Every structure is written in structure tokens, then in C-alpha cells.
């Protein structure tokens, strides 16, 4: 408040300084006229009046200033004419823009993404939140959940904040699959390549992992690469991959090692 008050006073001071400067100029001009008239009153009648001479000089000066101002105004009018034409073109382009932020195609894609995401959550066993509270954000295009707060009321949060660790992994699966499915269904730009590293984190159940792999198996036009340890259990591996078609590459040692390492 003090800063605002100071700024206001400074503005008032500047305004009064400009007014004082204008008054001083008027005063100087009046003093000059008084001196000229005084000298004319005591000068010879045969001599030209200094007041007339000064008046002519001032008139010529004003004519010159007005001529310059006229030239500047003509220049400004020309610039304004160009700006007016540009502004008219911009208004026309603005009028051609869609009234809504999203086009019909955008809305259809986002709706499909949300539907596919929820369906995948169900398939993969997501339980942290009822699907009626889950949505795809129209700002970030990421999964959100709706929460209620006594202070702030209804509010949307990133799904990771209202999901268990394992359910957050399920939501990643669901979102990854939904992106591919929507891109395929709407002729999008997905590279048709999915690379998944250790999907069975946070003690994921074999049943859920199996459902995830079955979903990936259905992507016939995509290349899917999965790196997984299956808890280092052959039993788990056999159970999860049962009835799933895939190519297996077993890795018994580290893929990346130091050259000539002594181990």
C-alpha cells in the first residue's frame, strides 16, 4: 500500500512539473512581448515595430510547426490505414476459428481415450477408485481422479495420488494401451512400438500380468518388447504366459558389462 501511495505521489509530482514548465514558457513569452512593446513605445515612429517583427517571426515559426505536424499526421494516417487493413484480416481469420477449443475430431479422440482407458483399468483389476471418478484431463490429457474436499469442494487430481502403488502401475498399463488403441482407431501417429520394462512391479498378481500380456498379444500390427524377470520364478513365468504367443529371449547374464572385466 505504501509503494502504491508513493507511486501515486510521484505521478502527481511529475504532472505538476509539466504544468509548471508550461506556465514558465507562457510567462517567458509574455515577458518577451512586454519588453518588445516597451521598446516600441519609446522608439521612433519611422522604425519598424519590433512587436510586428516578432509577431511575423512567431507566425512563421508556427506555420513551420503546423506544416511539420501536418506532414506527420499524413504519415500516421498512412500507417493507420495499413494497420487497419491488417486488423481487418486478423478479425476475419479469428472469425474462422472454431468456437470451441477442441474440434469435433479432438473431442471424439479424447472421449475414445477415456473410454479405452477405463475399459483397460477394469481388465487389469484397478480397484483404488470407482471408474465414475476417473477421467482424462482436457488440459494435460493425463488420467485424473475426482476427489471431494470440505474446504475446496470438487477437485481433480493426478491418478497417482489416489491409487495404491500396484494400481498406479495398472493405470500406466491402461494408459499406454489406450494411447495405442485410440491412435489405431483414429489414424493417429503412434509408432506402433511399445517397450515395457519390468511390468510386474509392486508385487503385481500373476492374474493381472496375464491379462496385460493377453491385451498386448492382441496388437497384431505393433511390435511389443517386454523385459521381465517374473520374480525369477519359472512357475510364475509359465503361469503368466500360458496360452500367449510370443518370442522368448532368455538372458542369463548382464546385457551390459565392462570390457575385459574380471568377474
Domain ranges for the chain, please list them: 2-41+50-96, 104-240
The kind and range of the H/E element at 155 are strand 153-158
pLDDT at 263 over 60: no
**The pLDDT of residue 157:** 84
**The pLDDT of residue 26:** 84
Q: Where does the pLDDT of residue 50 fall: very low under 50, low under 70, confident under 90, or very high at 90 and above?
A: low
CB 106 within 8 A of CB 116: no
H-state helical runs in the chain: 2-42, 50-96, 104-123, 165-185, 206-217, 234-240
CB 144 within 8 A of CB 157: yes
110 vs 112: CA distance, rounded Å: 5
pLDDT tens digit sequence for 51-103: 677 777 888 888 888 888 888 898 889 889 999 999 999 999 888 877 778 88
pLDDT tens digit sequence for 209-245: 999 999 999 999 999 999 998 888 999 999 999 999 9
SS3 238: helix
CB 144 within 8 A of CB 150: no
Q: Which three cell numbers stand for residue 241?
A: 504366459
**The pLDDT of residue 38:** 73
Q: Which CATH architecture has domain 104-240?
A: 3-Layer(aba) Sandwich (3.40)
**The pLDDT of residue 33:** 75
pLDDT at 164 over 60: yes
Amino acid at each position: 500500500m505504501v509503494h502504491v501511495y508513493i507511486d501515486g505521489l510521484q505521478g502527481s509530482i511529475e504532472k505538476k512539473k509539466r504544468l509548471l514548465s508550461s506556465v514558465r514558457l507562457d510567462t517567458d513569452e509574455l515577458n518577451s512581448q512586454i519588453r518588445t512593446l516597451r521598446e516600441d513605445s519609446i522608439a521612433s515612429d519611422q522604425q519598424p515595430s519590433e512587436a510586428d517583427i516578432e509577431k511575423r517571426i512567431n507566425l512563421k515559426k508556427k506555420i513551420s510547426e503546423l506544416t511539420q505536424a501536418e506532414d506527420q499526421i499524413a504519415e500516421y494516417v498512412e500507417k493507420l490505414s495499413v494497420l487497419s487493413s491488417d486488423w481487418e484480416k486478423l478479425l476475419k481469420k479469428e472469425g474462422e476459428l472454431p468456437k470451441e477449443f477442441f474440434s469435433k475430431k479432438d473431442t471424439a479422440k479424447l472421449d475414445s481415450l477415456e473410454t479405452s482407458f477405463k475399459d483397460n483399468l477394469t481388465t487389469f483389476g484397478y480397484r483404488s477408485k470407482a471408474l465414475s471418478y476417473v477421467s482424462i484431463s482436457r488440459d494435460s490429457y493425463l488420467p485424473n481422479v475426482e476427489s471431494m474436499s470440505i474446504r475446496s469442494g470438487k477437485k481433480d487430481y493426478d491418478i497417482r495420488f489416489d491409487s495404491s502403488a500396484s494400481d498406479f502401475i495398472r493405470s500406466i498399463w491402461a494408459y499406454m494401451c489406450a494411447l495405442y488403441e485410440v491412435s489405431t482407431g483414429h489414424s493417429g501417429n503412434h509408432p506402433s512400438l511399445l517397450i515395457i520394462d519390468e511390468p510386474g512391479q509392486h508385487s503385481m498378481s500373476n492374474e493381472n500380468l496375464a491379462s496385460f500380456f493377453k491385451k498386448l498379444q492382441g496388437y497384431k500390427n505393433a511390435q511389443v518388447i517386454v523385459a521381465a524377470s517374473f520374480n525369477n520364478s519359472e512357475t510364475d513365468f509359465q503361469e503368466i504366459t500360458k496360452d500367449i504367443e510370443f518370442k522368448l529371449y532368455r538372458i542369463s547374464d548382464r546385457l551390459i558389462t565392462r570390457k575385459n572385466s574380471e568377474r
